[in-house]
Amino acid sequence: MEFPFTLPRGYVDKQGVVHREGTMRLSTARDELIPLSDMRVRENPAYLSVVLLGRLITRLGALTNVDADIVERFFAVDLAFLQKFYSKINTDGTSLASTVCPECHHEFDVDMGSRLGE
């Protein structure tokens, strides 16, 4: 199962092309175990999310081969967004998050993968 997302800022490749639209698949136990043996993760545990996201992002713009080397060049805001997105889809199986309007107090769902604020 894959979930679409839109990065807040976008990955800029070597040619200057910005890639914002992508898809991420659900994680398996294997996906979470394999990075633990990666030397980069052993040396710096914070690198775990970079390696993990590199395994799970199936497409980013025109890129179909996203790996840890690409993920480590993401802007911090995009990395933080993807970490939250990963957590949401792998916990609930959905990219929908419940929220409440601060003015009318109406409860509704928003899609974390959509272009919020655009």
- Whether residue 118 is contained in a domain is answered as no
- Whether residue 50 is contained in a domain is answered as yes
Total structural domains in the chain?
1
Its domain, for residue 74, covers: 2-111
pLDDT tens digits, 29-57: 999 999 899 899 999 998 999 999 999 99
- Whether residue 117 is contained in a domain is answered as no
- Whether residue 77 is contained in a domain is answered as yes
Task: Give the predicted TM-score (pTM) of the model.
Answer: 0.79
One pLDDT digit (tens) per residue for the chain, 118 residues: 899 999 999 999 999 999 999 999 999 999 999 989 989 999 999 899 999 999 999 999 999 899 999 999 999 999 999 999 999 988 876 666 667 777 887 776 676 665 444 4
- Whether residue 116 is contained in a domain is answered as no
> Read out DSSP for the chain?
-EEEEEEEEEEE-TTS-EEEEEEEEPP-HHHHHGGGG-HHHHH-GGGHHHHHHHHHEEEETTBS---HHHHTTS-HHHHHHHHHHHHHHHHHSSSEEEEE-TTT--EEEEETTS-TT-
